[in-house]
Structure 1
Amino acid sequence: MSLRRTIEDATGLALTDADVGRALRELFPHDAAARAAHAPAPGTPAFDALLDLLVVPESWMFRDPAVFEEALRFVRARLADRPDARLRILSLPCAGGEEPYSVAMSLMRAGVDPRQCAIDAFDLSHAAIARARSGRYTRNAFRGADLAFRERHFTHADGHWTVNADVRAYVRFAQANLLELDAAALAGRYDLVFCRNLLIYFDEAATRRAAAVLAALLADDGLLLSGYAEAPALCRNGFTTQGARQVFALRKETDATAEPVPAARPRARARTVPPQPAPVAPQAPPARARATPQEQLAQARRHADAGHLAEAEALCRALLARLPELADAWFLLGAIDEAAGRIRAAERCWRRCTYLDPQHYEALCSLALLHEQLGDSARGASFRRRAAQAYERRGGAA
């Protein structure tokens, strides 16, 4: 078995021979013979070092603030219902600890004691876990406009910020592979699971395995917070969306929540909207005289989220008539087409979007998932790789 296949089987990561070759050259920069002959076995230090070079454990504090607001809403409701319970939260992958520490700071701000809520944080990368345990960060970990939390919860010295002990008290870090967790021993352990921007690196088979493990780990009435790319795939594998917020909050699918999975993947933020026939010459509602293109686009998104697809489409088309170079409008128009069942029209819109913005992460994810649904796994994998590259270039922002 090739080294690439060994890594894929062990981790679920969909890699190319070029990916593995680059990592081997970095691991053995001055020894071509070792690169040619060496195939590190799983469980060895060399294999772990190779994995550290293949994963992308980059994040920052409070990345996607709405996700942490949703998590806090869930925790508060859970504790109100079960005041004597100790909630358990899982962050996987946790990268360098930015996500679990952000959760801990949110809990502290809300007055939730560590004795009420504990966080397990796992990552495949040994190097990432070592960095998380050190709790030491550079300015790259702080990217938002509001950094007041940094002054409250970190100590600054020598150009680094180190997380304070009261935040650390919530979190336990461990190196772990999602696909190798003992799902039976951990069954139903977690009330809340963060699993964001991991499955973009998995093929369909590994995604199914991962979804099964996540479903086992999550309590039957628990909540899974996923990334954009994961939500449709998870909804094909035992989960269902909750609510219409922009956060991708999922529940385990039960007899009470199960819905037929449509043949073509619906856009996550319009998932509950049934397909509608194509509108006949829709008229765009009048926009405010001083509305900017971004404000008009936001209005179109609100219509789409509410299920008013005809109005959303009219706004998008009116906007694109004036600004045909607006990639985000093409993306939203594609999402509207998909929700209405016009799959090929959606594909054309998303392709136009990626022509205008080759690094448009959401459009690349949508194209990957669409082609996988249509049975074109090779083209889906190509778009998935491009999405992963775009994700890395923009610093891990989903």
Structure 2
Amino acid sequence: MTPPIEAVWRLEATHLIGALLRAGADLALAEDCVQDALVAAMQRWPSEGWPERPGAWLMTVAKHRLLDRMRHAQMAAREQQALGDDADARAAHVAPDPLDLLLANEADQVGDDALRLMFIACHPKLAREAQWALTLRLVAGLSVAEIARALFAKEATIAQRITRAKAQLAGEPFELPPPPERAARLDAVCTVLYLMFNEGYVASSGVEWTRPTLCHEALRLARHLAALLPTEAEAQALQALMELQASRLPARTDAQGRPVLLMDQDRRRWDRLLVRRGLAALERSHRLTALKSRGPGALALQAELAAVHARATRVEDTDWSELLRIYDALLVLQPSPVVALNRAVALSHAVGPAQALPLMEALPLAGYPWWASARADLLQRLDRIEDAREALRQAIAWTGNERDRVLLLERLGRM
């Protein structure tokens, strides 16, 4: 697939699948028709020229493929009916015209194909990990390798989860669940949206350090979700977290596109509008949490972490003790090695690198480049330069992103 067609495909695939599902296709049929449209584009666009509206072109072809298959299936079904059936009996069993389905206005309060597809794919019939993998594949368009890195799993495991999830959902109506069931699926939808955002914020592979288009799509969906569920504290917290982190995107790379880490960023380049929107969403989350007399959830705590950084106009103003307090609370709700790694970084600044290093080295994060990179930073601050160099070499060997590799090589050179 050529890069331009791949870029269009990433943007449009979710919308195409969602539209065909709403038109009456099951998941397998929708994917087949969308793949047919992609093949047609790869065959025709290079020779015939690009259409003025590539997304609309793909949608038209995919709908025609679906229409052909549905009409063929209806004709086959009708031919199997007993010739002696009377006209009334035949009419009662004839399926609606696929063209009517395709043109029907099925607008509902969700109002977004990608978000609708997320609620559908996060089906309670599936294990949580399978929900995440299937939704990241269908909605975010991530590759199996990217999903595996996001979920700290093997590629073969993720591929199996996606295949099994599709098999488990075979025969299930791919339709939007009623509001009470949506609330039950909210946690999984929020998790998938944040994983999608993270892949855009720090690309796990490729030649670019960030994928802003993926970040902005995840943020768009998070805003839509927060508007759809104004009384759900975690939906507001998810929007707050993404707004605050997205505010740093302009400062995360320099004029040459090279990565700039948080501690080195020019905070004047942070998007203050997004900071204000994020802090406002976090305040809404706090009010909703207080109304229900319960503590903040994991997303709210992560948004609070981002807010501490957002309020510090200079890196020297960062309240590391407050960050450490929030990480302690987050570890209770989300006891993961990555959270523990970030807590160790906060501890190194609040107390000192000597206290943080043993905790960091005990984490089961071999193969995770940012663990090795953070460990190198602590070792360097402790004047263990050769050990720091070796840790950076590990990080370089483990990273799959070209920009990360260049950044780490430059750090190694400066040692």
**Normalised TM-score (structure 1):** 0.33
Relative to its length, the structure with more strand (as a share) is: 1
TM-score (norm 2): 0.32
Could you say which structure has the higher helix fraction? 2
Higher radius of gyration, 1 or 2: 2
